[in-house]
Amino acid sequence: MTTSDRTAQQKIFIGGYTKSGTTFVGRAFGLFNGVYAKGEQDYFRIFTKGMRDMVVKYNENITYVNKEVYDGQGTLGPLSADSFRDLHDKIFKHIFFSGQPVPDDCTAIVEKSPRNIYFIEDIEAIFPEAINICVYREPVAVFRSLMRHMADHRDPEYARPDCSERIFMLTEFFKYWKLYIETIEKKRQTLKVIRYNKAADDNQALVDFIEKEILLQSPGLKAPVETLSKEHYLKSLPKEARAKSLVQTGPYKITLAKNEIKNIKKRCRAPKIAFDF
């Protein structure tokens, strides 16, 4: 595989804090013709370190084999950085397209996993041509959505502010929010940063931004912009799945205590950056 083969389809990776709106932004990309958007592979968290370690061991092993077994005449060579990228490309696309060939009309591959934000350096090393996007949402809304998810899908006790697991998660939230913000600020020059609230409030503006600032072309839409609405998405689900969908409409099902809101506002700052959208 050549570099041109590897870059035949633009790769776009979306990350952000869990419940920050990464799924919504991924769906917006999926409206465009030729753009295939999926999540969450968590590819870089799962594959990068393990594959890097295996390649190091392989290269060390083949060096000894060529020297000692074949008296310096062995023909198997170590994996180069470029062949390592090609290997990642094949595995990534195999998983993304469920073992099927890349569609002929595919011009861009969009993978959204919130943890992508913490693996930007790995993404840059493996796919240097990729575009990295971070979605930002204000922390009170993020924590409220997290608790709604935990109460609906893990344990109803998470709906209570005095739940010990919820108290622990708030402590962890403070810690990881700090890392999230520091990462955004550190990698700002290589990131496109989108505010979830602005995107959710003006779907058309988000679609226009994606077309003009990220895709850099006008491929046309495979579905109307209106299909991005929460109401439209919920109607597309089987009736039994709607009640526990992570998409939220109407009044909040989770109420945060005053001290929770106060502490989140005090300890979870916004990034000191200019947003792209």
- Residue 238 pLDDT exceeds 90: no
Q: What is the pLDDT of residues 160-183, one digit of tens each?
A: 999 999 999 999 999 999 999 999
Residue 125 in this model has a pLDDT that exceeds 90: yes
Look over the chain and give the mean of its residue pLDDT values, rounded to a whole number.
91
- Band the pLDDT of 252: cuts 50, 70, 90: low
Q: CA dist 78 to 16, 48, 50, 64, 91, Å?
A: 36, 18, 17, 11, 19
Domains of the chain from N-terminus onward? 3-267 (3.40.50)
Statement: residue 18 has pLDDT above 60: yes
Residue 157: other Cβ atoms inside 10 A: 13
pLDDT at 1 over 60: no
CA-CA distance, 254 to 264, in Å (whole number)?
15
Could you identify the residue written with the tokens 């039994």? 240
Joined together, the tokens standing for residue 9 give 């389809």
Res. 110 pLDDT band, cuts 50 70 90: very high
What local confidence, expressed as pLDDT, does residue 251 receive?
Answer: 55
